[in-house]
Amino acid sequence: MWWGSLRLLLLLAAAVAAAAEPASTLNGPSRPVTVALRKDRGHAVDLPDTDPRVQRRATGWAPEQITVALSAAPTSAWVSWITGEFQMGGTVKPLNPGTVASVVRYGLAADSLVHEATGDALVYSQLYPFEGLQNYTSGIIHHVRLQGLEPATKYYYQCGDPGIPGAMSAVHAFRTMPAVGPRSYPGRIAVVGDLGLTYNTTSTVDHMVSNRPDLVLLVGDVCYANMYLTNGTGAAERTATRARSASRRPSTRRTSRAGTTGEGTWRR
């Protein structure tokens, strides 16, 4: 899967580099350009779970890892976040997703979040019935869909459980995509895959953000509960088992303690 992602990324980079003006589908299909794989692309090593960048910064039921994702239309968006702590070890007890509500308050001004939407919550567990492997169960994963939004509009929002003290996030913002039409495009789309939680992930994300994309397409592979530290070993173990485990990967993303900006997929 990572190979496919990389190839797509290279194709995109090549298409951009080849033409002075970015190619537009308004001019008909363009000829794809392929460049050779860079030999010096390096060896990305997983961050250990002691690294400050992957420490949990939230306390209590405060939302963390808040993300905004494009839904089916420019008038709709998903807000997702995590509450509670994941557990890893022998005896793990899954959290009850009903413990914390999934609420987003939003509006056109930071001091006027007049709309409210509610959603669902779930946890997922990766249990190994094998001697010597540690089990994993996630924090509570919340998803709320906002609908009836105006296209190309900046929205302010906060998420969490308004019924629990300290369980609402700060106010963040995102901009919806432009209305669908023959001459209506996001200005810039960044495509990225296989980010992982490595020593190189932050610089990759920073580089992407510095180019101010209107939309980021994350084609998959962030990190998973089925390989990382399953028996108390880290990156080396992951590398050793990558080939063997590739076909067994769950499609669910690991709810790790990845640092997030609290801002969404879109440009502010």
Ligand X SMILES: *[C@@H]1O[C@H](CO)[C@@H](O)[C@H](O)[C@H]1NC(C)=O
Cβ closest to ligand X, residue 111 vs residue 131: 131
Beta pairing partners, 181: 184
Cβ closest to ligand X, residue 207 vs residue 268: 207
Other beta carbons within 10 Å of 130: 8
Is 129 near ligand X (CB under 6 A)? yes
Pick from 18, 108, 127, 180: which binds ligand X (CB under 6 A)?
127
Is 232 near ligand X (CB under 6 A)? yes
Cβ closest to ligand X, residue 76 vs residue 125: 125
Pick from 24, 55, 96, 233: which binds ligand X (CB under 6 A)?
233
| AA identity, residue 222 | V
Residue with tokens 């779970």: 49
> Hey, which residues between 190 and 219 contact ligand X (CB under 6 A)?
199-200, 203
Contacts of 64 (CB under 8 A, 6+ apart): 56, 57, 58, 81, 82, 83, 257, 260
Is 239 near ligand X (CB under 6 A)? no
Task: Single out the segment in contact with ligand X by CB under 6 A; choices: 15-23, 25-33, 162-170, 225-233.
Answer: 225-233
Is 13 near ligand X (CB under 6 A)? no
Beta pairing partners, 183: none
Is 90 near ligand X (CB under 6 A)? yes
Contacts of 98 (CB under 8 A, 6+ apart): 121
Is 48 near ligand X (CB under 6 A)? no
Residue-level length of the chain = 268
Backbone CA torsion sign across 3, 78, 143, 263: positive
Cβ closest to ligand X, residue 91 vs residue 210: 91
Helix (H, G, I), strand (E, B) or coil at 33: coil
Applying CB under 6 A, what is the total number of residues that bind ligand X?
16
Is 185 near ligand X (CB under 6 A)? no
> Hey, which residues between 50 and 79 contact ligand X (CB under 6 A)?
none
Q: Do residues 88 and 134 make contact, with C-beta atoms less than 8 angstroms apart?
A: yes
| Shortest reach from residue 191's CB to ligand X, in Å | 18
- If we measure between CA atoms, which residue out of 175, 167, 206, 160 comes closest to residue 53? 206
Pick from 55, 99, 231, 239: which binds ligand X (CB under 6 A)?
231
Task: Single out the segment in contact with ligand X by CB under 6 A; choices: 49-57, 107-115, 128-136, 260-268.
Answer: 128-136
Phi and psi at residue 210, in whole multiples of 5°?
A: -65, -20
Gap between the Cα atoms of 152 and 150, Å rounded? 7
Where along the sequence are the contacts to ligand X (CB under 6 A)?
Answer: 42, 90-91, 127-129, 132, 135, 199-200, 203, 231-233, 237, 240
